[in-house]
Amino acid sequence: GAVVSQHPSRVICKSGTSVKIECRSLDFQATTMFWYRQFPKQSLMLMATSNEGSKATYEQGVEKDKFLINHASLTLSTLTVTSAHPEDSSFYICSTAGLSYNEQFFGPGTRLTVL
Amino acid sequence: AQKITQTQPGMFVQEKEAVTLDCTYDTSDPSYGLFWYKQPSSGEMIFLIYQGSYDQQNATEGRYSLNFQKARKSANLVISASQLGDSAMYFCAMSSGRRALTFGSGTRLQVQP
């Protein structure tokens, strides 16, 4: 299956700063990538769907101006958390769907802590 | 809209015993897929098993099997011969086509020696 990487794996930042998370599909052309958020002891919730060369689609309740998504190539999608606050502290994980319906490839996740 | 329900927040099982993790779902899509993932404390999502809505037979992958009852809209995961390394969070999820997954709330499984 496809290999998806994320960078950084862990980041700690001060409140008010912006943080960029990269999601790379290493061996697969990912026209679509999904960004999920997982708060402690909770499930994964879809934040947005990133489409190569077009605007991302955000789920209800997710601020598109706060969570900027860029999918400029078939192998890279980035999520930028702008003016991060402690409530943005979470585990962010990206994924992409493979060619078959049973294929969903996840990155290893990024743990964000905002002080 | 799709919905996944996992009613067991936590489960205990003795090592070498079998355990069933429950999952029910709701969707209006005629074609869908059901997934089970294991999430250890590291956070990575480890794919375990997949069942397509039109698959006639229950899926099996090694010690994992999926008890798919379409009429009851259930997709329970059965882990046979539990091992200590099976202790983790387990998520049931579903998707239609190549869209994003909808996850259940998860079940924390603890395997006891």
| DSSP class per residue in B9-48 | SEEEEETT--EEE--EEE-S-SS-EEEEEEE-TT---EEE
Q: Average pLDDT over chain A, rounded to whole?
A: 93
User: In this model, does residue B9 exceed pLDDT 80?
Assistant: yes
Cα A54 from chain centroid? 16
According to the model, what pLDDT value does residue A101 have?
82
Lowest mean pLDDT among A39-48, B35-44, B94-103: B94-103
Cβ of B91 within 8 Å of Cβ of A42? The answer is no
According to the model, what pLDDT value does residue A81 have?
98
Query: From residue B14, how far is each of A43, A52, B34, B87, B113 by CA, in Å?
Result: 25, 47, 27, 11, 6
Q: How much is the average pLDDT of B64-89?
A: 97
Which helix (H) or strand (E) segment is B109 a member of? Answer: strand B107-112
Tell me if B15 sits within 8 A of B8, measured CB to CB.
no
pLDDT tens profile A17-47: 999 999 999 888 888 999 999 999 999 999 9
Cβ of B100 within 8 Å of Cβ of A34? The answer is yes
- Which residues of B sit within 8 Å Cβ distance of A? 33, 35, 42-45, 47, 50, 52, 91, 95, 97-106
Tokens 């698959």 belong to residue:
B55
CA proximity to B43, closest of B100, B94, B111, B106: B106
Cβ of A97 within 8 Å of Cβ of B44? The answer is no
Strand partners, A69: A79
Nearest to B50 among A42, A102, A111 (CB): A102
Structure tokens that stand for B52 in this block: 């397509």
According to the model, what pLDDT value does residue A79 have?
97
Question: Which segments within chain A are labelled E, that is strand?
Answer: 4-7, 10-13, 19-25, 32-38, 45-51, 57-58, 67-73, 76-81, 90-97, 104-106, 110-114
User: Which chain B residues are closer than 8 Å to A104 by Cβ?
Assistant: 35, 47, 95, 101
Q: How far apart are CA A23 and CA A110, in angstroms?
A: 10
SS3 category, B86: helix
